[in-house]
Amino acid sequence: MTAPFDCAVIGAGVMGCSTALFLARGGMRVVLIDRGDICREASGVNAGTLTMQMTRAALIPYALRAHEMWLTMPEWCAGGSVLATACPGLSVAFTDGEVAMLEERARIRRAAGAPIELIDGRAAQAIEPGLADGVKLAGHCPIDGFASAYLTGRAFRQGLLDAGVTLMERTPVRGVDGRFKLDTEAGPVEARRIVLAGGVWLEDMAAWLGVTLPIKVLINQLVVTERLKPLMRTVLGVASGLLSLKQYANGTVLIGGGWQGIGDRARGGVAVRPENFLGNVRLAAHTVPALREARLVRSWLGLEAETADALPAIGPIPGIEDAWIIGSVHSGYTSGPFMGRILAQAVLGQAPDLPLFHIDRLLHERSNAA
Amino acid sequence: MMFDLAVLGGGPAGMAAATEAASRGARTVLLEESPLPGGQVYCAPPQGFVAKPDRDRRDGDALRAALAASGAELRTGCRVWGLGGGPLVPAGADALPFTLSALGADGVPFEVSARALILCCGTHERIIPFPGWTLPGVIGLAAATILLKAQGMLPGRRVVVAGAGPLLYAVAAKVLAGGAAVAAVADVATRGEWLRALPALAARPDLLAQGAAWRARLLAAGVPVLSGARVVAAEGDDVLSRVRILARGVERVVEADALCVGHGLVPATEATRLFRARHLHRPEDGGWVPMLDEGQRTSVRFLYAAGDGAGVRGAAAAPASGRIAALAALADLGIGEGHEARRAEQAAALARATRAGAAMARMMALRPEMVAAVPREAIVCRCEGVTRAAIEQAAADGAATLNQLKHHTRCGMGPCQGRMCGEAAAALLADARGVPVAEVGFATGRMPLRPVPMDAILGRFDYADIPVPAPAPI
């Protein structure tokens, strides 16, 4: 067997890919391992929303930096592209309750650095002619956009290979012994450091190291239309965050918002709930009436990880030297490449551009990680 | 409304399944997309059409009459777009009744629930791509059958009929009978293949006689019938004007305004994939098929599959497989008793019909040499304009499975959701990777089963009544 890698990153989603890429760029010999194919779980099937208006306030400084990274991805990732597109974002309120929610959330997000201004319905329609009448208030953020998330694996692959990352797809890791011998289906892999980047499977991965880190699993539903004539030109949501709408250059409109389907860690995304499918598309049709003319062609599911406080788990694993974790970032796709970069900075012994999200706060006292 | 049994698809398998179940006491509903049950082989003419009855029509009428008398509830002209329940529940929860969300013939959405579900969803047509297959004027063989049989419509005035299987001769004979010219018949099968199929076809002298009659009519009309022949290109400026056919090393150009082409039938597995039933790759059955036991049970409890959708065996075999599925469902649901004698009788009938059906299915199976011959610039996925070259590039870029190929190329992500191209794309991806086609898998099954107009399913609603979940924390 070969000499140990400087670092093994387990989980080849956007967090793992960007961490591995920047570690390799920092001079480390890196192996990136996934039980499946690169970016084929949440990173490849999410709504690709690069918005500030659904991002948790604490993450906005990170999301703003990541937004820039997505738009310039071809420059830092060997030409890889997710067709990131910048456009204005609108978060609209149809009811008094939503107005109150929007005012509060826009204020908090603005304080966190998102340049959100509140405008009336008429002004919102000037920005987004596809928007329905009846909007009482809208949050307008000029920094918004979207990507084609399904391109993420293809976009990262060449950059990773060019940087010298050893990519091991379809190679399930069964466990980790000592520091650090990975028991994989392709044989043992040794590394001086490990980064756990397993999305909703972080709970299982942490358990390899004897760490108890509860991770909640969200089963987000998405729906897409057939190609349509241009109907809208913004990323559009409602104040509750339970709708996200955007039209891609190919004419398809993606309808999301985190409506929940059926699934779990063990089985993946099992099924779309028809009643939530209906609720989600009703919200969409209410917001952009021209969508009523569309045919829906596909729905699918993506699994999103959430910690107990819904804030990220990014940093060293307490009590285990040279073991790191990254994941559970709310709207994680939006912030993903920047999160990978700052973790790589920390692993490389540099000061991260922005603070990490240490997981000490999330570990049970009973944890045997000491 | 809750039924004991729902049957999805009203072809010969579905009609027989619903008839059997309802006449044995199960509260049964049959959902069918067409205005009348019958399926493709036994389809009924539209209301107001008068058509000369033939053997298929008589067989279909008999099945329709039995269905009408059985007491099964019929929902025709409806589009089932959503499926749920059954095993699709949160971890640890008990299985639920199956639910089918549909748009009625009147455009009104409705839902039915049933303790058991028999899928009789038939097949999609296989067309192995060649340059020009997307030109106006080129249609599927099965599509031509529907035009000719159901509507009495000719696909063109001068027609090339090409592809594999018995449909080839049926379509050519019907085109002739309808008064159009058949410019050529191009059969990918060789004479030797047909000769080798003869012993199995001897079990169905009626089919043999019919096939011989079709062929005689073609020869009498002076139609060139080419064996071991395939279409290498369909050409024309905006519409089809000529077809290039390669037969035993010789290429010929045939003027035509229509090309009816089909290379076999692929079982429609959207529903069994959606329910996450286990599937097997069986080229001789048409490709991916749900794994079934002798009672047509899938790996999912109370979910059954019958007819060509469970493996291509032809219309003659379909009713028996539908009845066997119904009897298994009745036994599993504890409805009625004494089904065993009937089951044995139907199993024997199925075995008889399967002999000829399987020989035809083998004739229509995917031909690897045709896949290998697809030119690099040929469009494979017509919805998204994906060529063979793009599929090969994706393979070189690391796409290992059909699901990954979608992400690389959008192949199969358009309105047809891979129904048209999925199999050819899988074969080409496997070819590029040098692995067996089963290894690249199939696309995950998700609703809607068919593209569904948003306006139609939205119904009337008030914004305030949309059950919006609690928002995420700020």
Cβ neighbours around B162 below 10 Å, total:
30
Nearest by CB: B458 against A44, A57, A292:
A292
Distance (Å, whole) CA A128 – CA A236? 9
Kindly report the length of chain B: 474
Handedness of CA A288, A293, A294, A296 (dihedral sign): positive
Q: Tens digits of per-residue pLDDT, A240-258? A: 889 999 999 999 999 999 9
**Yes or no, beta carbons of A279 and B468 under 8 Å apart:** yes
Tokens standing for residue B140: 């599927």
Q: Tens digits of per-residue pLDDT, B100-126? A: 999 999 999 999 999 999 999 999 999
Residue A350 amino acid letter: Q
Q: What is the pLDDT of residue A365?
A: 56
Q: Pick the closest to residue A10 from A198, A174, A265, A202 (CA basis).
A: A198
Tokens standing for residue B123: 């097949």
Q: What is the mean pLDDT of residues B450-469?
A: 90
Distance (Å, whole) CA A246 – CA A248? 6
Q: Is the pLDDT of residue B258 over 60?
A: yes
CATH topology of domain B374-440: Arc Repressor Mutant, subunit A (1.10.10)
DSSP class of B398? T
Ordered strands of the B452-453 beta sheet: A117-119, A137-146, A85-93, A235-238, A244-247, A253-256, A216-225, A295-306, B452-453
Tokens standing for residue A204: 């299982």
Are B450 and B81 in contact by the 8 Å Cβ rule? The answer is yes
Residue B319 amino acid letter: P
Q: What is the pLDDT of residue A1?
A: 53
Q: Pick the closest to residue B261 from B175, B170, B161, B370 (CA basis).
A: B161
- How many Cα atoms sit within 13 Å of B378 on the Cβ side? 25
Homologous superfamily in CATH for domain B127-263: FAD/NAD(P)-binding domain (3.50.50.60)
**Yes or no, beta carbons of A295 and B89 under 8 Å apart:** no
> Among all chains, which residue has been given the structure tokens 């990918």?
B188
DSSP class of B297? B
Kindly report the length of chain A: 370
> Among all chains, which residue has been given the structure tokens 């005689």?
B216
Q: Tens digits of per-residue pLDDT, B354-388? A: 988 888 888 889 999 999 999 999 999 999 999 99
Minimal CA separation from B401 to chain A, in Å:
9
Residue B3 belongs to what H/E stretch?
strand B2-8
- Collapsing DSSP to helix, strand or coil, A332 comes out as helix
CATH topology of domain B2-124+266-362: FAD/NAD(P)-binding domain (3.50.50)
Q: Is the pLDDT of residue B291 over 60?
A: yes
Cα torsion A236, A239, A241, A245 to 10°: value is -10
Q: What is the pLDDT of residue B163?
A: 96
Q: Which residue of A has its CA nearest to B274?
A: A271
Q: Which of residues 132-151 of A touch B (CB under 8 A)?
A: 150-151
Backbone dihedral angles phi then psi of residue A106, each to the nearest 5 degrees: -65, -40
Nearest by CB: A279 against B414, B464, B466:
B466
Q: Is A251 on the interface with B (CB under 8 A)?
A: no
DSSP class of B18? H
How are beta strands A194-196 and A7-10 bridged, if at all? parallel
What's the Cα-to-Cα distance from B304 to each of A187, B85, B280, rounded to whole Å?
Answer: 41, 15, 15
Q: Is A246 on the interface with B (CB under 8 A)?
A: no
Q: What is the mean pLDDT of residues B43-65?
A: 83
Q: What is the pLDDT of residue B207?
A: 81
H helices present in A209-358, as ranges: 274-287, 332-347
Backbone dihedral angles phi then psi of residue A44, each to the nearest 5 degrees: -105, -10
Backbone dihedral angles phi then psi of residue B2, each to the nearest 5 degrees: -100, 125
Tokens standing for residue B468: 């919006």
Cis peptide before B448 (omega within 30 of 0): yes
**3-state DSSP: chain B helix, strand, coil percent, rounded to 5?**
35, 25, 40
Query: B166 pLDDT band (50/70/90 cuts)?
Result: confident
Residues of chain A with pLDDT under 70: 1-2, 365-370
Q: Which of residues 252-311 of B touch A (CB under 8 A)?
A: 274, 276
Distance (Å, whole) CA A291 – CA A228? 9
Distance (Å, whole) CA B116 – CA B399? 38
Tokens standing for residue B250: 């010789």
Q: What is the pLDDT of residue A44?
A: 96
Spell out the domains of chain A, with CATH numbers in brackets. Answer: 7-44+151-214+309-362 (3.50.50.60), 85-146+216-306 (3.30.9.10)
Are A239 and A256 in contact by the 8 Å Cβ rule? The answer is no
Q: Which residue of B has its CA nearest to A290?
A: B455
Distance (Å, whole) CA B391 – CA B51? 45
Q: What is the pLDDT of residue A367?
A: 45
Which residues in chain A have Cβ-Cβ distances shorter than 8 Å to B90? 262, 264
Q: What is the mean pLDDT of residues B218-244?
A: 96
Domain ranges of chain B: 2-124+266-362, 127-263, 374-440
Tokens standing for residue A251: 């004419």
Tokens standing for residue B262: 């089909």
Q: Which of residues 404-463 of B touch A (CB under 8 A)?
A: 404, 406-408, 410, 413-415, 417, 444, 446-448, 451-455, 457-458, 461, 463
Distance (Å, whole) CA B53 – CA B246? 37
Tokens standing for residue B437: 């086609």
Q: How far is CA B294 from the centre of its chain?
A: 22
Return the exposure string of B408-447: e unless at least 16 CB atoms fall within 10 Å of the residue's CB, then b: bbbbbbbbbbbbbbbbbbbbbbbbbbeeebbebbbbbbbb
Distance (Å, whole) CA B441 – CA A47? 24
Which residues, 6 or more positions from B92, have their beta carbon under 8 angstroms from its beta carbon?
Answer: none
Distance (Å, whole) CA B106 – CA B45? 20
Which residues in chain B have Cβ-Cβ distances shorter than 8 Å to A105? 474
Are A325 and A313 in contact by the 8 Å Cβ rule? The answer is yes
Domains B127-263 and B374-440 share a fold: no
Are B258 and B158 in contact by the 8 Å Cβ rule? The answer is yes
Q: Tens digits of per-residue pLDDT, B67-96? A: 999 999 999 999 999 999 999 999 999 999
Q: Is B92 on the interface with A (CB under 8 A)?
A: no
Q: What is the pLDDT of residue A337?
A: 98
Q: Pick the closest to residue A351 from A341, A361, A360, A359 (CA basis).
A: A341
Q: Cα-atom radius of gyration of chain A, to the nearest Å?
A: 20
Q: What is the pLDDT of residue A75?
A: 98
Distance (Å, whole) CA A306 – CA A220? 12
φ/ψ region of B124 (left if φ > 0, alpha if ψ in -120 to 50, else beta) reads beta
Q: What is the pLDDT of residue B403?
A: 93
Q: What is the pLDDT of residue A126?
A: 98
Rounded to the nearest integer, the mean pLDDT of chain B is: 94
Q: Is A105 on the interface with B (CB under 8 A)?
A: yes
DSSP class of B205? H
Which residues in chain A have Cβ-Cβ distances shorter than 8 Å to B466? 279, 282-283, 286
